Amino acid sequence: MKNKLLNFYDKQYKKLLIIPFLILVLALVQLGVQYGMTGDFVNKGVSLKGGSTITIDQQVNILELEGFLQENFPKADISVRSLTQAGTQIGVAVDTDAQDAQEVSVLLDELESKLGLEKGDYGVEIMGSSLGKSFFRQTIIALGIAFLLMGVVVFFYFRTMAPSLAVILAAFSDMVVTLAIFNLTGMRLSTAGIAAFLMLIGYSVDTDVLLSTRVLKRKEGSVMDRVISAMKTGLTMSATTLTAIFIALIFVKSEVIKQIMIILLIGLLVDLIMTWIQNVGLLRLYLERKKP
């Protein structure tokens, strides 16, 4: 069975290229639809689009409170997340897109009535839309600069356009597909999520550079032998990282860390396809055309 799979992987790599490119196209469609419907290509949280965060120093049933608020404010964008310390809930944070002081006051009245809160039991933080948009714009610029510098380093290392573009395309595909899948989960991207995407660039490029180095720099064995050698190392790296992510998702209660782990989990799984199918196929096509 193993030999059949390897033989199929070896002989049908051109057909297999359809898979990552089809996934990339579907991801771009999702982002386009998302932008057309909401005006943003990603579901942004309060820290990125502006709004209010009400921090309550009280143990609360999150699902019950979220259902209550959504029932009373059906048109508002409201979510409730847990605040934990050493794995124990110490409070909750209510995130809403409300920026007007009067709207926030109405929401606070409902919370005070529902939970029996007093003035000292909660804190309110309001972020204006202009500040949120400015921060989001700056993070996008930071991502773009990181991507650009990554491309420059890759190009100077390989000194060849085609393999360098293959690495950059794989990293770009990984980011775009991960973002599209993240949108489909219904989660809202926070500043922590931006950090996760920056980390994802590094993880993605790491495996792609490993593959390209083994295939292009080494001369022993056939191209497929070098691909398999790189795959063994790369899959081991990915497996150890995925194991750490699963452990974090199981034991860590922080919503911030969970979002980082979820993005990395999606990104690393997508990277398996983009590296070992897309990048492998493009490198093999390049080497075939390079032959005299």
The tens digit of pLDDT for each residue in 165-217 reads 888 899 899 999 999 999 998 888 887 888 888 888 888 888 888 888 888 88
Angle at which helices 255-273 and 18-38 cross, to 10°: 140
Mean pLDDT of the region 265-283: 93
Contacts of 282 (CB under 8 A, 6+ apart): 17, 162, 166, 169
- Please say which residue of 127, 147, 174 terminates a domain: 127
**Is the domain of 39 the same as that of 60?**
no
Q: Domain containing 147: what range?
A: 2-44+130-290
pLDDT band at 146 (very low <50, low <70, confident <90, very high): confident
**Is the domain of 160 the same as that of 215?**
yes
- Please say which residue of 127, 159, 174 terminates a domain: 127
High-pLDDT (> 70) share of the chain, %: 96
**Is the domain of 18 the same as that of 107?**
no
Using CB atoms within 10 Å of the CB of residue 88, give its burial: 0 to 12 exposed, 13 to 18 middle, 19+ buried: exposed
Mean pLDDT of the region 132-151: 77
Owner of token pair 């691909």? 227
pLDDT at 129: 62
**Is the domain of 151 the same as that of 230?**
yes
The total domain count for the chain is 2
pLDDT band at 275 (very low <50, low <70, confident <90, very high): very high
pLDDT band at 117 (very low <50, low <70, confident <90, very high): confident
Mean pLDDT of the region 104-115: 82
Of 99-103, 179-183, 247-251, the range with the highest mean pLDDT is: 179-183
pLDDT at 128: 64
**Is the domain of 177 the same as that of 204?**
yes
CATH number at residue 78: 3.30.70
- Please say which residue of 127, 155, 183 terminates a domain: 127
**Is the domain of 60 the same as that of 160?**
no
pLDDT at 51: 77
**Is the domain of 161 the same as that of 283?**
yes
DSSP code per residue over 50-114 = -EEEEEE-S---HHHHHHHHHHH-TTS-EEEEEEEETTEEEEEEEEES--SHHHHHHHHHHHHHH
**Is the domain of 204 the same as that of 274?**
yes
pLDDT at 28: 95
**Is the domain of 78 the same as that of 173?**
no
Contacts of 117 (CB under 8 A, 6+ apart): 56, 58, 111
**Is the domain of 107 the same as that of 153?**
no
CATH number at residue 278: 1.20.1640.10
| Cα–Cα distance for residue pair 62/70, rounded to 1 Å | 12
pLDDT at 243: 94
**Is the domain of 81 the same as that of 164?**
no
Mean pLDDT of the region 217-223: 81
How does the average pLDDT of the chain come out, rounded?
Answer: 84
**Is the domain of 191 the same as that of 101?**
no
